[in-house]
Structure 1
Amino acid sequence: MIKKGIGRQIVMHYFIVVFVTLFMVELIFSLAIRMYYYDTIYNHMSNHTTWASDYFQKFVKLNADNDPHYFTEMLDAFELKDTELLILNRKGNVKASSNPFQDEKAIQTSDVLQAASGSVGKWIGRQPSTGEMVMAVSSPLQVRGENAYIVRYVTSLEAVNSKMMNLTLLSSAVCVAVLALVTLFSIGLANSIVKPINNIRAVSAQLAKGKFDTRIEGEYRYELGELASTLNYMAQEIVRSNQIKDDFISSISHELRTPLTGIKGWSETLTSGGFDPDETKIGMNIISKETDRLIGLVEEMLDFSKLQQNEMKLVIGRVKLQELLKEIMLNVWAKAEKKQIQIKLDDQMDKPITVIGDANRLKQVFLNLVDNAIKFSHENSWIHLVINPISAEQVQIEVVDSGIGISEENLSRVRDRFFQVNHQGGGTGLGLAISQQLVELHHGKMDIRSELGAGTTVSVTLPMPIHDPENRDEEVEQMNSEDQN
């Protein structure tokens, strides 16, 4: 007995479909066999009655009712093997019969009534005297164009019905055998489906308990194979995410501890007193710098949280791209100067470029990209900011550096949250993830190309406003509306 579940459902569905199909086939087969045998018997008897009606003209005799030998001669002439022959008058009374035990009552079956009206009639039913199933075929015999007598052939259907019953039982046995084979096949099919499902379910239960090193073993085909691969991939990603989370916690703990240690140390030192104004000023500057660093870390995590929860709101307006990039260059100038890195704006346009977006968020994106380029560039190297219009509706900004580059293995993961190529470089590992999402909020695209030891190029594609001044405000309102939704 198959236990309750999807396996039983598969077997039951197969069983019901095949059972109904075989039942319909058996029913149609039985009706076809019955029609074939009955029609064959009827056609044989009907043809003989037609012949008898035509041949009867040789026996036409006036006042035949007064000649007892007349009907006997008709019986001898019209007899048909394995049938009972009756000669009736128009009222159904028996004038002569090949059966000596024939009841003398008038016969009023449908075949006699049809013959009396001038057509060949057929009747199937039980013989009143014997109770057996018979078929009767009657045809009129005409004298001078009028129906004078009726010739009626009656044959038993018991032998035919017995043969049809045997054929029906044989076909039913075949159907039962087919149904049994299909049931066994469906059980095997159900097991082939249910077994991997149970395996996948067991592994899923282990994953739900936190055993993320569990994997689905075996090669499954089609959708089950895809499901198994998806669950294995999910487990792998969970393990990776947990590792990234652990690395992030370790990194952020270090990032928070460093400025807090500096703030605490200088606060206690300054509190003890006895320092000259210059030393006090140095301590206060360190406290202010580390505080800004803490604020930056907290804001970065808050921004990421807002992006994950789709709560980031943009203040959309027209942003002058060249001015934005020049402002960023001024912001990072001091940091670049320490490493003797030259930052250059390579503008391919002869006129100012305007994009539609949030100036502060776009500044955050490019500031992060340039800051990363400085962080991972060698001393005495260069960084280029390239503005390149790629169509009338889009502009591409590239941040190109000649730094250490990114390996092919890390390049596909560098935009993942909490991922850091170099854990010693500091940071939360959220910068590129936030930048990616901010660019997408501006209906743009960010691509990264890099070669280890040769440098990195980050391309940001942003939409440009329609040149028709009358439509610019409408475009700003549309982006604001999309952002709110």
Structure 2
Amino acid sequence: MERPRTMIKKGMRRQIVLHYILVVFLALLLVEVIFLLAIRTYYYDSVYSKIKNHISVSESFFQKNMIPSDNSIYLLQEVLERFSLSKTELEILSLNGDIITSSTGFQPDRTITTSDVPEAVGGSVGRWVGRQAGTNESVMAVSKMLQIHGQDKYVLRYITSLEEINNDLLNLTLLSTAIAAAVMAVVVGFSFGLANSIVKPLNNITAVSAQMAKGRFNVRIKGDYKFEIGDLASTLNYMAQEIVRSNQIKDDFISSISHELRTPLTSIKGWSETLVSGGYDPEETKLGVSIISKESERLIGLVEEILDFSKLQQNQMKLSIGVVDVKVLLQETILNVWAKAEKKRIHLLLECEDAIFVKGDANRLKQVFLNLVDNAVKFSHEDSSIELSAKRLSATETAIMVRDSGIGISEAHISRVKDRFFQVDALNGGTGLGLAISQQLVELHNGTLDMVSELGKGTEVTVILPLTEPQPEVITEEVTQVTATFPELDDWEA
């Protein structure tokens, strides 16, 4: 047997509709109850006020115009006439609540025990609403004590029917209920529209996301959605775009690294086979071994770069923190790239303030500046110059700059040049990881790396690092050792 289907299947749409209807229903119910109670109170208070005012006016007139008489029957008849009120029964009671006479002419032998009588005897105007005994009619009784000649005391009790008022209240209740039902119908329709405006875009986003999860990153979320849903759609589209771009960069990297690995391996294999075959003079053998060694170092460099990037991505890079003299660091950097710069007749200039010290891993910071200067040499023209400078920005920061006058970087590439695997010119070789690694290393030292470049005019890279206090014993020893090994360092200072 098929299970009955619910009107709205479980999900966000159902939750929105039900919650919205519940909130509006409770609000309408509260307003309706308050409204009906206020109307009922207003009507009942109007009847009570009318009777009370009539009693006050009649009592004042009666006391002024009362004719003294010893005939109690005549006196009570006069009271009935003076205090009578249309559509209202007037009863005259004793202080004990016994009915003495009434405007209807009936004098039932009974005692009134409702709460309005004791209140009247106590000196106030009593009020009671309930069902009339015998007729079960809804009535209001208002009682007030009347004193005659300063001695005789009676209780005037007015009884008026509330059936007509209750009928009006019932009609008003039905009308307000019908209005509330119409409002609820509008709310239900509106809640469905609101739910669909949220759920339909989410269903669309979910469907597209499912396709993205299966690797179809060419699909996009279509539709001009607003607010948070629009932000979500834009974010997912941007994510897919970035994944496509990352995949393209990864594919380019694989192609590039394959080429980078194949070239030295081909040289190593070729010379190895040549040397194994024998019959070559010592000079050719020495050249072959030299090429094998050089290409092996190149392979090691590529592998180390990839390993460094992998460690950084997995937060496994360990730093050996110490106090580093920035001037010595830049001098060592220049010495490492000097031979490469000499081949292109590029002048390396150093301008560094004294006693600039940072806290960090000297080898990793040297790796950063070697990469920056090596890139500057690679993309600089022959017979040009590269400037390295370091200065204090404030009491807590120093700026280290590498400036060249090379080919520069276009605006289209400057924002992506620090992305992993990205290469401005793939023909120059490399993995496209150098700047990405440099940036992450600088960030590990609580610094920043910024690039400014103009196509055809050169590039300036600025590394900002926090300063630290020097340790004279350690720094002096390092400077002495470097100066002793390379006495010509002072020639490069601008």
| Equivalent residue pairs, number | 467
C-alpha deviation, 1:143, in angstroms:
3.3
Whole-angstrom CA distance in 2 between matches of 1:120 and 1:245: 94
Q: Is the 8 A contact 1:90 1:147 kept in 2?
A: no
* Secondary structure in 1 matching 2:348: strand
- The aligned residue for residue 480 of structure 1 is none
What is the one-letter code of the residue matched to 2:42? Answer: Y
* SS of structure 1 residue aligned to 2:188: helix
Task: Say whether the 8 Å CA contact 2:62–2:82 is kept in structure 1.
Answer: no
- The partner residue of 1:411 within 401, 414, 420 is 414
Stretches of structure 1 that go unaligned for 5 or more consecutive residues are: 473-485
Match of 2:217 among 212, 215, 219: 212
CA contact (8 A) 1:60 1:143 kept: no
Q: How does 1:188-267 map to 2 (within 5 A)?
A: 188-267=193-272
The amino acid of 1:408's aligned partner reads E
CA–CA distance in 2 between the matches of 1:56 and 1:178? 55
Distance verdict in 2 for CA 1:359–1:467, change over 3 Å: closer
Q: Are the aligned partners of 1:118 and 1:147 in contact in 2 as well (CA < 8 Å)? A: no
After superposition, the C-alpha distances for 1:58-86 in whole angstroms (9 at most, x for unaligned) are 55767645xx4443333223211000111
Distance in structure 2 (CA, Å) of the matches to 1:373 and 1:123: 101
Distance in 1 between residues matched to 2:471 and 2:95, nearest whole Å: 104
Does 2:46 correspond to 1:40?
yes
Identity across aligned pairs (percent)?
63
CA positional deviation for 1:134:
0.6
| Worse-matched range after superposition: 267-276 or 416-425 | 267-276
Q: Give 1:398's aligned amino acid.
A: M
Q: Is the 8 A contact 2:388 2:400 kept in 1?
A: yes
Deviates more, 1:367-376 or 1:335-344: 335-344
**Residue 8 (1) aligns with residue 14 (2):** yes
Asked if the contact 2:101–2:107 (Cα under 8 Å) also holds between the matched residues in 1, the reply is: no
Counterpart AA for 2:453: S
SS of the aligned residue for 1:388 comes to: strand
Distance 1:299 1:140 in 2: 110
CA distance in 1, matches of 2:388, 2:431: 25
Q: For residues 468 and 255 of structure 1, what CA distance do their matches in structure 2 show?
A: 43
User: Corresponding residue for 2:273?
Assistant: 268
Task: Render the CA deviation track for 1:138-174: whole Å, top value 9, x for unaligned.
Answer: 1112134446211111111001100111111111111
**Is this contact kept in 1: 2:357–2:470, CA < 8 A?**
no
Task: Give the match for residue 446 of structure 1.
Answer: 449
**Alpha-carbon shift at residue 323 of structure 1 (Å):** 1.8
Q: 1:450 to 1:279 in 2, by over 3 A?
A: same
Residues 75, 144 of structure 1: alpha-carbon distance in 2 compared, 3 angstrom cutoff: closer
- Aligned equivalent of 2:381, options 378, 383, 388: 378
Q: Which ranges of structure 2 fall in alignment gaps of 5 or more residues?
A: 1-6, 476-494
**1:165 correspondence with 2:165:** no
SS for the counterpart of 1:228 is helix
SS at match of 2:334: helix
Q: Deviations over 1:16-52 (max 9, x none)?
A: 1111111111111111111111111111111222334
Where 1:119 maps in the other structure, the secondary structure is coil
Q: Which residue of 2 aligns with 1:483?
A: none
- Separation in structure 2 between the aligned mates of residue 32 and residue 306 of structure 1, nearest angstrom: 75
Q: CA deviation at 1:100?
A: 3.7
1:179, distance to aligned residue in structure 2 (A): 1.5
Q: Deviations over 1:105-136 (max 9, x none)?
A: 11121112222233221111111121101111
Matched residue of 2:452: which SS?
A: strand
Distance in 2, matches of 1:395 and 1:223, equals 42
1:136–1:155 CA contact under 8 A, matched in 2: yes
On the 8 A contact 1:116/1:147 being kept in 2, the answer is: no
Which residue identity is paired with 2:206? R
Out of 63, 71, 88, the residue aligned to residue 93 of structure 2 is 88
Q: Give the secondary-structure state (helix, strand or coil) at the position aligned to 1:216.
A: coil
Q: Aligned-pair distance for 1:468? A: 10
CA distance in 1, matches of 2:359, 2:197: 57
What do residues 178-204 of structure 1 show as CA deviations (whole Å, max 9, x unaligned)? 121122112112211222111111111
RMSD: 2.0
Contact 2:17 2:195 in 1 (8 A): yes
| 214-223 vs 241-250, which moves further | 214-223
Q: Could you tell me the TM-score, scaled by structure 1's length?
A: 0.92
Question: Which letter maps to 1:7?
Answer: R
Q: Is the 8 A contact 1:87 1:94 kept in 2?
A: yes
Amino acid at match of 1:155: T
How far apart in 2 are the matches of 1:89 and 1:60? 21
Alpha-carbon distance between aligned partners in 2 of 1:469 and 1:143, rounded to the nearest angstrom: 117
Q: Distance in 2 between matches of 1:78 and 1:463?
A: 100
Superposed displacement of residue 371, structure 1? 0.8
Contact 1:340 1:381 (8 Å CA) reproduced: yes
Corresponding residue of 1:481: none
- 2:124 counterpart letter in structure 1: S
TM-score (ref. length: structure 2): 0.90
Taking a change above 3 Å as real, the CA distance of residues 158 and 426 of structure 1, as seen in their structure-2 partners, is same
What is the CA–CA distance in structure 2 between the aligned matches of 1:61 and 1:91, rounded to whole Å?
Answer: 25
Greater mean deviation of Cα atoms: 298-307 or 454-463:
454-463
Deviation at 1:315?
1.2
Give the structure 1 partner of residue 366 of structure 2.
363
For 1:408-442, what per-residue CA distance to the aligned partner results, in whole angstroms no more than 9, with x for missing partners?
10111000000011111111100000001111111
The residue type paired with residue 190 of structure 2 is F
One-letter amino acid matched to 2:362: A
**Map 1:91-110 → 2, pairs under 5 A:** 91-110=96-115
* Partner of residue 400 from structure 1, selected from 390, 403, 416: 403
Q: Which moved more, 1:317-326 or 1:424-433?
A: 317-326
Give the counterpart of 2:459 among 448, 456, 461. 456
Q: Helix, strand or coil: the match of 2:386?
A: strand
Change (3 A) 1:429 1:146: farther
